[in-house]
Structure 1
Amino acid sequence: MEDFDEIYEEEEEEEEEEDEGRAAEEQLLKFGPEPVLVRGAGRATVFGLSNKFETEFPSALTGKVAPEEFKASISRVNGCLRKTLPVNVRWLLCGCLCCCCTLGLSLWPVICLSKRTRRSIEKLLEWENNRLYHKLCLHWRLSKRKCETNNMMEYVILIEFLPKIPIFRPD
């Protein structure tokens, strides 16, 4: 019974150390530069997801990533949207036409398709992060934000600056 108590105490110490580590990371993120937002630039938006994102290189990324890499990443995301969003729009129109007869159940396919589109974009951004951007201390993710012009929500690509790991700090 005494051995069990000792193991339990060690686990508490490890949890305290992890909490201290998280607090240090949050403090480093607090003093970092503001994240860069890449907003949707398309004409059509389905459930907050625009049909394409801006390909213009943001000035805040100058010196961090090459403009060609940025445009290639955005074009991959836009390619994914180009494949999936027309299907979502068709299902949305069919769902709206049949909405009265089905008591709103005809909109479920659109909701599921838009969720699948978001997941595929998130997977693509995670692949891009692992391939290149984490090495450059950047992290790309899809984030839901409030529109500037109205009260609607939209999905944007958020590019966060990761803090550099202090290698000279003791463990």
Structure 2
Amino acid sequence: MSQNNRILIRGDGRYVVYGIHSHYKLDLPPKLKSQLAPEEFQYTVGQINALLANKIPKNFITLLGGCSLCLCSAGLTLGPSLLFNKIIKKKIKRILDKENKRMYNGLGMHWSLVKEKFGLTVEYGLLVEFIQKAELSPD
């Protein structure tokens, strides 16, 4: 899909744990202003932010605890933090799938969680792709 048919929403949170930010901006991107109501955008991103506000601090504490014990356990204490990260990504994808079915697919959009490289870091962002509706041809 071309770059014009997609919008990437980057996180702006204070914490970044394994590439997942602790917050996404609630401001509607300019490219979406004519296609989506600000309230709907805020509702979707607000659901993700609520999940992240609950899960990221716990994952961060688990990561710090795992790092402090890493030498004693040969790195095995980082496992719970990696598992929490996988669960967070799965829950974000579940929220986005539900929202796609509820509204966005009908508007010709599809939201997903994607891993993107920004400079030297790899982060997860919210990708909004515009779906081309199949045109009906007369028989």
With the length of structure 2 as denominator, give the TM-score of the two structures: 0.95
1:154 aligns with 123
The answer to whether 1:70 aligns with 2:51 is: no
**Over residues 50-97 of structure 1, what are the superposed CA-to-partner deviations in whole Å (9 max), with x where a residue is unaligned?**
001111111111221101100111111100111111110110011000
Count residues with an aligned counterpart. 139
Q: Give matches, 1:123-142, under 5 Å.
A: 123-142=94-113
Give runs of ≥4 in structure 1 deviating > 3 Å: none
Q: Give matches, 1:34-49, under 5 Å.
A: 34-49=5-20
Q: 2: distance between equivalents of 1:124 and 1:104?
A: 32
| Pair 1:99–1:37, CA change in 2 (3 A) | same
Residue 169 of structure 1, CA deviation: 6.3
| Pair 1:169–1:86, CA change in 2 (3 A) | farther
Letter in 1 for 2:23: K
Q: Bigger relative contact order, structure 1 or 2, given CA contacts below 8 A and separation 6+? A: 2
**Structure 2 unaligned residues grouped into runs of 5+:** none
Q: Give matches, 1:5-44, under 5 Å.
A: 29-30=1-2, 33-44=4-15
Q: 2: distance between equivalents of 1:159 and 1:119?
A: 18
Which structure has the highest strand share of the two?
A: 2
Q: 2: distance between equivalents of 1:169 and 1:40?
A: 45
Which structure has the highest helix share of the two?
A: 1
Structure with larger Rg: 1
What percent of counterpart residues are identical?
A: 34
Q: 2: distance between equivalents of 1:33 and 1:155?
A: 20
Q: 2: distance between equivalents of 1:137 and 1:163?
A: 7
Letter in 2 for 1:154: E
With the length of structure 1 as denominator, give the TM-score of the two structures: 0.78
- Residue 166 (structure 1) aligned to one of 112, 135, 138: 135
1:109 aligns with 80
Q: 2: distance between equivalents of 1:81 and 1:143?
A: 16
